[in-house]
Amino acid sequence: MDGLHALCLFARFAADGPGGAVDWQAEWDKSLAMAKQEGKVVVGADLGGDKVRRVLTEAFEKKYGIAVDFSALPGTQLAPRVTTERQAGLHAWDVFLLGTSTFLTRLKPISALDPIEPALLLPEVKDPAKWGGRELPFFDKDRRGPAFLLVARQSLFLNAKLVGADELKSYRDLLSPKWNGKILLGRDPASPGYTQAMFQFFYQHKDLGPAYIRELAKQNLKVLEDDRQAVEWLAQGRYAFCFCNAVLIERFIEEGLPIQAVDPRKIKEGGYVTSSFGNIALANRAPHPNAAKIYINWLLSAEGQTLYTKASGDPSKRVDVTKDHVRPWEVPEQGWIETHTEEAIASSRPLVGLLKEVLQK
């Protein structure tokens, strides 16, 4: 064999050998064919909003002809349901889209998540450079799933008819007697979710901390376990402030109701950074494993991320996805506290103890 022939064979092996174009394409084609035979993928997601739901269902169905059985459930409802099902020997879910706290404190401990890397097939999905780093942005050290968003999430909203434009310049302004009995929490902050993330930010901030949380609790906070009712009560003016589901509340804002997000850029203490609900994982013993693979790869591709982030308004971690649709106050600023990391969530135990004490849970 001459040198040129050997070089050509080597180049072909580099492109088409293990991990090369032929291998991934063959695996993709095989998985897609089997996914179509399975007929559907079952997705559980802790998010709302018609635009996002349409992307996560209709856009995928149109592209691949595979039905999406989609359930939008808060993590506080979905995780106990999964636990109960598994105790009964049922495995109903394929893919989860949830906050990291639900993944790490509720689903991972019961072995409900499979390693996701074997399911990542598309080269553009597996390329760390597409995600702006040296490795994929996994939400935990065991690499159970990627966190595909990074957003300066604000969970505090106000009724613009009750709160003046310049009345809130610091979170300490919430301690004013004027707001006693006027602050609503859409979820119990002692449970994983967006409210706990906000209080985690308070807890970690050097200028706020546990003492601030104790003072805030004296404001007769009203705690619900109903995101929609919380938003409705804020819109009706029953409360001046609400720690609400930012995704759900968007529809009410679009309808012209007097609700505004508190812009963290205008608050002395700033804001917190989170992956929000932009975390994806593969369910253990998924009933439609091939459809799950196709769904995961599609959502993490440039096409899927572009559709998702344009519908949600949140910034993707992919560097090749535009951010021109992102609300300015959701672009993270340097130095803001990250509340979605495994380390931050692991340190939440003393926070939960404090919250149960001061909120008398």
Q: For every one of its 361 residues, what pLDDT tens digit does the chain have, with 9 covering 90 and above?
A: 444 344 343 333 443 444 456 699 999 999 999 999 999 999 999 976 788 999 999 999 999 999 999 999 989 899 999 999 999 999 999 999 999 989 999 999 999 999 999 999 999 999 999 999 899 999 999 999 999 999 987 889 999 999 998 899 999 999 999 999 999 999 999 988 889 889 999 999 999 999 999 999 999 999 998 989 999 999 999 999 999 988 788 788 888 899 999 999 999 999 999 998 899 999 999 999 999 999 999 999 999 999 999 998 899 999 999 988 888 878 888 888 888 889 888 878 899 999 999 997 5
Both structure tokens of 224: 């619900």
131 in Cβ contact with 317 (< 8 Å): yes
What is the rounded radius of gyration, in angstroms, for the C-alpha atoms of the chain?
Answer: 22
Task: Return d(Cα 288, Cα 40) in angstroms, integer.
Answer: 7
Find, among 327, 233, 196, 340, the residue nearest to 279 by Cα. Answer: 340
Name the architecture of domain 156-270+342-358. Answer: 3-Layer(aba) Sandwich (3.40)
Name the CATH code of domain 3-150+276-327 (choices 3.40.50.2000, 3.30.70.890, 3.40.190.10, 3.30.70.100).
3.40.190.10
State the amino acid at position 153 in one-letter form.
R
Identity of the residue numbered 251: R
CATH 3.40.190.10 boundaries in the chain: 3-150+276-327, 156-270+342-358
40-119-285-83 Cα dihedral, nearest 10 degrees: -90
Of the chain, the end-to-end C-alpha distance in Å amounts to 78
